[in-house]
């Protein structure tokens, strides 16, 4: 025990001396291309500390949009959200699509969803819903386990635009996860400067990597952009199937 303590004390002393001999950062190194900070700049602020969540729990800087108990963060048109609360989830029940009261631009979004365990249809009739970024750009929710449909309409597709790289869908009734990283489109003088860019991870599998949206989601039409505000709501679609959602949180980027 004494030997271990002595080794630890010696290591601590060495670290302290090293910190004195080599202070954190430099002030005589070249500037990075943007000209704001030097390489290893001593004055560059450290990133804020965020405590990661354990398992699927949200990180400390996330805004929880649904915790299994309340729909307070959501609305349906001018009314409160009317989806059913069941077993810590919110379930589509025919009262219409819902959207967040707060609006977002660039974001990281996590949510979990489950299609009905009982299969009663096929193609677009099985567990159909959708996640709309800014209320405009859709990432499809669908039961795509052994369910053939058009490729740009299956689970995790940028609906009507781009299929996922792979089909990572679980069985009907099982919980699935989306982790979505979105850079909102930019407009200047009513003209598109840069498109919306999205990366999507479905059940831990990368299915879109820096993919550009062609424009606002359309059905049976080519998507196009129209100028809009820099932020918008996150919307979840009521497409007539009792899809469930839980553990929904977002981080502003």
| Segment-wise mean pLDDT, segments of 10 residues, the chain, 253 residues | 50 49 82 92 90 87 97 96 96 97 98 92 88 98 93 95 97 97 97 98 97 95 96 96 97 98
pLDDT for position 178: 98
pLDDT for position 22: 59
Q: If DSSP codes are grouped into helix, strand and coil, which group holds residue 19? A: helix
198 and 139 Cβ atoms separated by less than 8 Å: yes
Q: Is 229 left (phi over 0), alpha (psi -120 to 50) or beta?
A: beta
User: What stretches of 90-156 show up as alpha helix (H) in DSSP?
Assistant: none
Structural fold of domain 63-252 = Jelly Rolls (2.60.120)
pLDDT for position 2: 47
Beta carbons within 8 Å of 96's beta carbon, 6+ residues apart: 76, 77, 82, 238
C-alpha–C-alpha distance, residues 246 and 165, integer Å: 25
Beta strands 74-76 and 79-80, pairing class: antiparallel
Tell the residue number behind the tokens 């498109």, with chain if given.
195
DSSP summary character for residue 45? P
Residue by residue, DSSP assigns 49-61 as: P-PPPSTTPPPTT
CA nearest to 243, candidates 140, 115, 79, 90: 115
C-alpha–C-alpha distance, residues 44 and 130, integer Å: 41
pLDDT for position 18: 44
Total-model pTM: 0.87
pLDDT for position 9: 55
Beta carbons within 8 Å of 18's beta carbon, 6+ residues apart: none
Instruction: Name the segment(s) of the chain with CATH classification 2.60.120.560.
Output: 63-252
- Report the alpha-carbon angle 146-169-207, nearest 5: 125
User: What stretches of the chain show up as alpha helix (H) in DSSP?
Assistant: 2-21
């Amino acid at each position: 025990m004494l030997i271990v303590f002595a080794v630890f004390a010696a290591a601590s002393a060495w670290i302290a001396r090293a910190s004195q001999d080599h202070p954190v950062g430099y002030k005589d190194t070249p500037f990075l291309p943007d000209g704001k900070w030097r390489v290893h700049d001593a004055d560059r602020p450290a990133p804020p500390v965020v405590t990661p969540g354990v398992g699927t729990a949200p990180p400390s800087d996330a805004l929880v949009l649904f915790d299994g108990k309340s729909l307070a963060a959501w609305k349906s048109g001018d009314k409160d959200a009317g989806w059913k609360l069941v077993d810590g989830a919110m379930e589509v029940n025919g009262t219409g699509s819902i959207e967040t009261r707060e609006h977002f631009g660039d974001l990281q979004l996590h949510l979990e969803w489950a299609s009905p365990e009982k299969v009663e249809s096929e193609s677009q009739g099985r567990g159909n819903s959708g996640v709309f970024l800014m209320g405009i750009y859709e990432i499809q929710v669908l039961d795509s386990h052994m369910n053939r449909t058009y490729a740009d309409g299956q689970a995790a597709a940028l609906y009507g635009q781009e299929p996922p790289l792979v089909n990572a869908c679980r069985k009907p009734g099982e919980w699935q996860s989306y982790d979505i990283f979105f850079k909102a489109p930019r407009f200047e003088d009513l003209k598109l400067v840069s498109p919306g860019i999205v990366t999507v991870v479905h059940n831990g599998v990368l299915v879109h990597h820096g993919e550009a949206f062609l424009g606002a989601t359309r059905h049976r039409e080519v998507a196009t952009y129209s100028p809009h505000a820099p932020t918008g709501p996150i919307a979840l679609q009521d497409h007539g199937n009792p899809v469930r959602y839980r553990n929904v949180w977002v981080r502003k980027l």
